Amino acid sequence: MKIAIAGAGAMGSRFGVKLQAAGNDVTLIDNWTDHVAAINANGLIVTRDDGKDQVYPMTALAPNDVTTTFDLVILFTKTMQMDQMLTDLHDVLANHPAVLTLANGIGNVETIEKHVPRSQIVVGTTVWSSGLVGPGHIKVTGTGSISLQAVAPASFSNLGDIISTLNAAGLKASPADDVMAAIWKKAGLNSVLNTYCTLLDCNIGEFGALPNWRELNDAVLDEFQAVAAAAKITFSASAVTTLIAAQFSPETNGGHYPSMHQDMANHRPTEIDFLNGYVARLGKQLGVPAPHNAILAQLIHSQEALVTAKD
Amino acid sequence: MKIAIAGAGAMGSRFGVKLQAAGNDVTLIDNWTDHVAAINANGLIVTRDDGKDQVYPMTALAPNDVTTTFDLVILFTKTMQMDQMLTDLHDVLANHPAVLTLANGIGNVETIEKHVPRSQIVVGTTVWSSGLVGPGHIKVTGTGSISLQAVAPASFSNLGDIISTLNAAGLKASPADDVMAAIWKKAGLNSVLNTYCTLLDCNIGEFGALPNWRELNDAVLDEFQAVAAAAKITFSASAVTTLIAAQFSPETNGGHYPSMHQDMANHRPTEIDFLNGYVARLGKQLGVPAPHNAILAQLIHSQEALVTAKD
């Protein structure tokens, strides 16, 4: 299969390597010029679980330099860079590739729909992970899986081909029954742990040790549930709360600072508008107020402005 | 007049010195044993605007050691210590002194009413300020004024005497027409500046420079206005917003960190339950939801728990 990885950071690069090793024709597409140059000059360096480096010759391009067509575009940009990436790939998308997103955050389908017909969009969640060491260099740990679904299943015929291709590359893909429920579940978890750990500058275990973590948790998730119900999406605040509580122990994720905390510490924009901020906006549209999520999104934006002001 | 200053920290001590210098019989009452011992041993040291120290012999007592009676008790405890102080002064209060509070925060009258008949309570606001240097030592800057009102004016005959006594001591007191409006105005200001500067770890100027300070401001004050209306208290969100915006410049309070920020930095409990937290509780009682204020109070409590956990 001819595959583009649009957004070839840590995760996109890991997927690209595995798909190319399985015999696909893979192009990495990214805006980071040092990263693109390093991959083309030296190949992609992958530091594995055992600490050993392996080098994979790969093709990398800036979005505006892409001229070929693809069967499948896998979007791995950050959610807030997705719209710009899709704009840059306008000509590529005119050739009707399937477009798969596994990005965190809600609202990605709405963004993609502005550029691609619903009938070509596949959406999913993944628990694969990966870290970026530097330009042209990633570090991978553990394994993962993918759960995915066509946005318009009746008009999308080749989901089986995509799943087979991903599985041939060892990516452990399976069809989802209700991928929107899975996306909202993950977004609910992130809208509690990412948001509060960032705002309060604490790790997941410290959040879980707060006497009032349930009040904070419920303030977010009760509104998620009400907005999801209005949007006809399955969401259980109590199920997500159980999942969150399972992260607190040092044996799971207690010592971990969520990715948003890392983004804030590194003065990068956060994904807040596709987590709490998205639910606040959707709630407003649907007449279901989500004031807690709205002010949490505002507070994270304030924090972003304050760290940037110190740059 | 025989006057007790209940809570003889920076402000209480400044008032005590001025009232005693004007010929009143003043007793400082405080729970901080080092402070009480230092005042009794060495007098109260006052560092003035010009940098010079002056020493005033004063009488200081722990609450449980007070046996005399008073014409006037001026409450200068922190709001969250007020209930305990009034409990400790039970016998003193049985002799029906007038009780004056000038403390920040809303809900003080409710606290005092648990211990003192409404007909004896006087409530006010002040812009006098003072700083604590150490046990038995304060630092005073600038001047101020007091605006005050009996809670039950029809049954309180000697407000004029109290005002005369305060004015004879140079404290610039005048009767207020609507002291509850003044208290809510100050609480509105503090519920924006104290709360956000603490939560976001910024000074007043940095808060004012946030692109979304108005969203944050309005989230708090629109709820204040709705709850105040239900409680039949005069409150104008736009007037308080104007007052807040006037604090941003370096010439006013821009470089200043509000007192709650100092409390948090010093791992002391904050007054949040008598600011945003009070409005959230009162709103709930009156059927006027105040979700923004509620979650802001929760977040400050989380921050208190996190700084205390690091002690």
**Binding-face residues of B in 253-272 toward A, CB within 8 A:** none
Q: Residue B292 sits in a domain of what CATH number?
A: 1.10.1040.10
Average pLDDT, chain A: 95
Whole-number pLDDT of residue A157: 84
Considering B160, B176, B192, which residue would you say is the last residue of a domain? Answer: B176
Is B298's Cβ below 8 Å from some Cβ in A?
Answer: yes
B169 and B223 together in one domain = no
Nearest to A109, CA basis, from A231, A248, A284, A200? A231
ipTM: 0.84
- Residues of B marked active site are found at 186
Q: Identify the band that residue A277 occupies on the pLDDT scale cut at 50, 70 and 90.
A: very high
Whole-number pLDDT of residue B309: 87
Residue B294 token pair: 């509620």
What is the domain count for chain A?
A: 2
**Shortest alpha-carbon distance between residue B302 and chain A (Å):** 6
Query: What amino acid is encoded at B68 in this protein?
Result: T
CB contact under 8 A, B305 and A216: no
**Shortest alpha-carbon distance between residue A266 and chain B (Å):** 17
B203 and B293 together in one domain = yes
Considering B154, B176, B198, which residue would you say is the last residue of a domain? Answer: B176
Whole-number pLDDT of residue B261: 95
Q: What is the mean pLDDT of residues A186-204?
A: 97
Whole-number pLDDT of residue B135: 97
Q: Residue A67 sits in a domain of what CATH number?
A: 3.40.50.720
Sequence-distant (≥ 6) Cβ neighbours of residue B255 within 8 angstroms:
B203, B204, B205
Contacts of A296 in chain B (CB under 8 A): 295
Q: CA–CA distance from B140 to each of A36, B5, B143, B258, B309 (Å)?
A: 63, 17, 9, 17, 34
Whole-number pLDDT of residue A198: 98
Full DSSP string of A210-247: STTHHHHHHHHHHHHHHHHHHTT----HHHHHHHHHTT
Q: Identify the band that residue A145 occupies on the pLDDT scale cut at 50, 70 and 90.
A: very high
Q: Identify the band that residue A222 occupies on the pLDDT scale cut at 50, 70 and 90.
A: very high
A24 and A113 together in one domain = yes
**Shortest alpha-carbon distance between residue B210 and chain A (Å):** 6
Tens of pLDDT along chain B (311 residues) come to 999 999 999 999 999 999 999 999 999 999 999 999 999 999 999 999 899 999 999 999 999 999 999 999 999 998 889 999 999 999 999 999 999 999 877 889 999 999 999 999 999 999 898 889 999 999 998 889 999 999 998 888 889 999 999 999 999 999 998 989 999 999 999 999 999 999 999 999 999 999 999 999 999 999 999 999 999 999 999 999 999 999 999 988 899 999 899 999 999 999 999 999 999 999 999 999 999 999 999 999 999 999 998 77
Three-state SS annotation for A158-198: CHHHHHHHHHHCCCCEEECCCHHHHHHHHHHHHHHHHHHHH
Is B295's Cβ below 8 Å from some Cβ in A?
Answer: yes
A191 and A153 together in one domain = no
Q: Looking at chain A, list the stretches that DSSP marks H as alpha helix, in order from N- to C-terminal side.
A: 10-21, 33-42, 82-88, 90-93, 108-113, 159-168, 179-199, 204-208, 213-230, 237-245, 259-265, 276-286, 291-309
A29 and A138 together in one domain = yes
| Phi and psi angles of residue A271, each rounded to the nearest 5 degrees, phi first | -95, 20
Whole-number pLDDT of residue B310: 75
B115 and B21 together in one domain = yes
A203-218 per-position pLDDT tens digit: 999 999 999 999 999 9
Contacts of A202 in chain B (CB under 8 A): 306
Q: CA–CA distance from A128 to each of A4, A74, A104, A140, A171 (Å)?
A: 18, 14, 12, 9, 8
Is A296's Cβ below 8 Å from some Cβ in B?
Answer: yes
Give the structural domain span for B155. Answer: 2-176
Q: Check residues A16 and A255 and name the one with the higher pLDDT.
A: A16
Residue of A199, A301, A306 with shortest CB distance to B299: A199
A256 and A116 together in one domain = no
Whole-number pLDDT of residue A74: 97
Q: Check residues A158 and A162 and name the one with the higher pLDDT.
A: A162
B46 and B67 together in one domain = yes
A30 and A168 together in one domain = yes
Q: What is the mean pLDDT of residues A80-102?
A: 94
Considering B176, B203, B233, which residue would you say is the last residue of a domain? Answer: B176
B210 and B248 together in one domain = yes
Size of interface A-B (CB pairs under 8 A): 72
Is A215's Cβ below 8 Å from some Cβ in B?
Answer: yes
Is A298's Cβ below 8 Å from some Cβ in B?
Answer: yes
CB contact under 8 A, A309 and B209: yes
A167 and A186 together in one domain = no
A19 and A153 together in one domain = yes
- Give dist(CA A87, CA B132) in Å, integer: 60
Residue of B200, B210, B298 with shortest CB distance to A216: B298
Contacts of B206 in chain A (CB under 8 A): 306, 309
